[in-house]
Amino acid sequence: MSTTRRPLKSLGQNFLVDQNIIARIIQAADIQPGQSVLEIGPGRGALTGPLAGRAGRLVLIEFDHALAAWHRDQNKDNGHVTVIDADVLKVDLDALLSESPEKWNVVANLPYNISTEVLFRLYAVHDRLARMTLMLQKEVGDRLAAPPDCSAYGVTTVLLGLWFDIIRAFVVHPGSFHPSPKVDSVVLNFIPLAEARADVGDEEVFRAVVKSSFAMRRKTLINCLKSAEFAKQLDCGELLEACAIDGRRRGETLSLEEFAALSRWVTEQLRTASEKADING
Ligand code: SAM
């Protein structure tokens, strides 16, 4: 069994080969003795060896069956390393992370093509995390730190900003990988907050408000909100008036606090509507 097969573009296989960058990522991850660590996409193991040496428990999720088998073989004598041969987007992360009572550290050089979707999934399990150290395409990383009213500001900026401090560690150039990607990457540390940055009411409602506000970037906020599922049960004009937000604005101009205000109001209205429905049988 070997890892020398040609890297698969379809799985975003740009393997780290720069020992200096590998050491810096491990340092940024700041693994505490005995900690549970999840590595998504271990690939040819650039980060895996140093992680296995530090973690109390290490779980690897790898979708390339040959590489997953290779990791299983490499770790047959390491009882603290588990290999999951699966698509990370299909793994029930909440169930997996709840196997350990302590909070997890997630480390990954994420495949570019699924990085945003993985971020949404990790956001959903923020309460099970102690820290995440993720390498992303630089453009995606820049989006996470973008202020309102700039083109990079988007759904990931608002959702992850609610629960994490996001700290840019360093930029990684294409020459640090084999094969070299066309663009720069960035390593970010995500430190979960003990409390959300804003009171958003129901978080599912918050996600719906944020996603619908960015769904059609050229349309006004009121038109975006009207297309949301929740708009079937309430008046979006009233919603915007109650929150003192001009419906002619674009979603990308709203601050986290403004999204939170919209979300609280929608949460309240939906709760009242459902209570009324219960009373009326
Ligand atoms: N961690 C290694 C490194 O830094 O060299 C590999 C990083 S490479 C950018 C991304 C890795 O994620 C590859 O090993 C790829 O096979 C794996 N991968 C791609 N899609 C995946 C998915 N949906 N679920 C789990 N792993 C995936």
pLDDT score for 2? 59
Q: Are residues 46 and 147 in the same domain?
A: yes
The residue nearest atom 6 of ligand 1, judged by CA position, is 43
**pLDDT beyond 70 at 151:** yes
What CATH code is carried by the domain that includes residue 250? 1.10.8.100
Report how far apart, in Å, the C-alpha atoms of 95 and of each of 38, 72, 92, 128, 218 are.
13, 22, 6, 10, 39
Find the domain containing 137 and state its range. 9-192
Cβ of 13 closer than 6 Å to ligand 1, yes or no, is yes
Residues 166, 53 share a domain: yes
* 139 and 176 housed in the same domain: yes
**What pTM does this model have?**
0.92
Whether residues 161 and 259 fall in one domain: no
Q: How far is the CA of 138 from the centre of ligand 1 (A)?
A: 17
Whether residue 227 sits in one domain with residue 167: no
Same domain, yes or no, for 141 and 214? no
Q: Is 114 in the pocket of ligand 1 (CB under 6 A)?
A: yes
For residues 72 and 165, membership in a common domain is answered with yes
Question: What is the phi/psi pair of residue 162, to 5°?
Answer: -65, -35
Residues 276, 237 share a domain: yes
What's the pLDDT score for residue 5?
A: 82
Sheet holding 36-40, edge to edge: 81-85, 57-62, 36-40, 104-109, 129-137, 185-192, 164-172
The total domain count for the chain is 2
49, 78 contact by CB (below 8 A)? no
Exposure pattern of 93-131 as b/e (b: 16+ CB <10 Å)?
beebbeeeeeebbbbbbbbbebbbebbebbbebbebbbb
Interatomic CA distance for residues 41 and 252, integer angstroms: 32
| Alpha carbon of residue 208 to chain centroid | 16
Q: Based on the fold, state whether residues 242 and 184 are members of the same structural domain.
A: no
In a domain, 131, yes or no: yes
Are 94 and 149 within one domain?
A: yes
Instruction: Please provide the DSSP assignment of 154-196 as one string.
Output: -HHHHHHHHHEEEEEEEEE-GGGEESPPSS-EEEEEEEE-SS-
- SS3 at position 108: strand
Q: What is the pLDDT of residues 30-89, one digit of tens each?
A: 999 899 999 999 999 999 999 999 999 999 999 999 999 999 999 999 999 999 999 999
Q: Are 188 and 209 part of one and the same domain?
A: no
Instruction: Find out whether the beta carbon of 159 lies less than 6 Å from any atom of ligand 1.
Output: no
Mean pLDDT of 232-254: 96
**pLDDT at site 76:** 94
Asked if 123 and 192 count as a contact pair (C-beta separation under 8 A), the reply is: no
Ligand 1 near 64 CB (within 6 A): yes
Decide which of 1 and 272 is more confident: 272
Ligand 1 atom index nearest CA of 91: 24
134 SS3 class: strand
The domain that contains 163 carries what CATH number?
Answer: 3.40.50.150
Q: Is 137 in the pocket of ligand 1 (CB under 6 A)?
A: no
Query: Same domain for 45 and 113?
Result: yes
Contact 14/181 with Cβ under 8 angstroms?
yes
Closest CA to 59 of 17, 88, 27: 88
- Atom 12, ligand 1: residue with shortest CA distance: 41
pLDDT of residue 234: 94
